[in-house]
A and B are shown apart, each in its own frame.
Chain A
Amino acid sequence: EDQVTQSPEALRLQEGESSSLNCSYTVSGLRGLFWYRQDPGKGPEFLFTLYSAGEEKEKERLKATLTKKESFLHITAPKPEDSATYLCAVRGQGAQKLVFGQGTRLTINP
């Protein structure tokens, strides 16, 4: 059974303080690891898809990386508007659906 575990559950940072969020996964034949951002009261918004170990993708202050067992979402010099819940999900071989982790609630204080 595919599983995703995210850590920490919540993270509070000062503006400009860089850090990383972790997503550990077990899946039968990874067909994609997905990162989403979710603001309060809204649906998740797509950020990145990673397909193979060693792959990296960047968007503004965010960079996602992937190994065979985990993915990291690095946030560099964050701003208060980066505050949100970040969700990680995987798609396994032959699967027609995503399995989500519980998310990391990120708060950036000015």
Chain B
Amino acid sequence: NAGVTQTPKFRVLKTGQSMTLLCAQDMNHEYMYWYRQDPGMGLRLIHYSVGEGTTAKGEVPDGYNVSRLKKQNFLLGLESAAPSQTSVYFCASTRRVLWRGYTFGSGTRLTVV
């Protein structure tokens, strides 16, 4: 099993450009999450999904959009990147029943210049 796979692993964007981060899981998990991790700030929740076709806002949703068209995929979009969105982005997933905590991807390091 691959677990949770994030693509790309690294990306440099210019201010105003757009991009989509892809998260794919092969564990049949219902719940999926996008976090950002910044020095001294810990992991902060951007958006999450509790099932195919559903999404919800987290702690820091501004400037991001998400979609969950298929159960195994959760996409994070930046419509107009800003330097403040320079961060490491982590995707995570977990199952609905007998909740056991997250399985994380390996992260995407995004730099906006």
Contact surface of A with B, Cβ cutoff 8 Å? 31-32, 34, 36, 41-46, 49, 87, 89, 91, 96-98, 100-103
Contacts and interface: CB of A to CB of B under 8 A. Distances in A.
B75 interface: no
A98 B107 contact: no
A43 B40 CA distance: 16
Given A46-B103, A89-B101, A97-B33, 19 more contacts: A31-B99, A32-B101, A34-B101, A34-B102, A36-B104, A41-B107, A42-B107, A43-B4, A43-B105, A44-B90, A44-B104, A45-B104, A87-B43, A89-B43, A97-B45, A98-B101, A100-B35, A100-B43, A100-B44
A97 B90 contact: no
B101 A49 contact: yes
Interface size class of B (residues with CB under 8 A): 20 to 34
**By DSSP majority rule, is chain B's interface helix, strand, loop, or mixed?**
strand
A89 B48 CA distance: 16
A97 B101 contact: no
B101 A102 contact: no
21 contacts: A34-B102, A41-B107, A42-B106, A42-B107, A43-B90, A43-B92, A43-B105, A44-B90, A44-B104, A45-B104, A46-B100, A46-B101, A46-B102, A89-B43, A91-B99, A96-B31, A96-B50, A97-B33, A97-B48, A100-B42, A102-B40
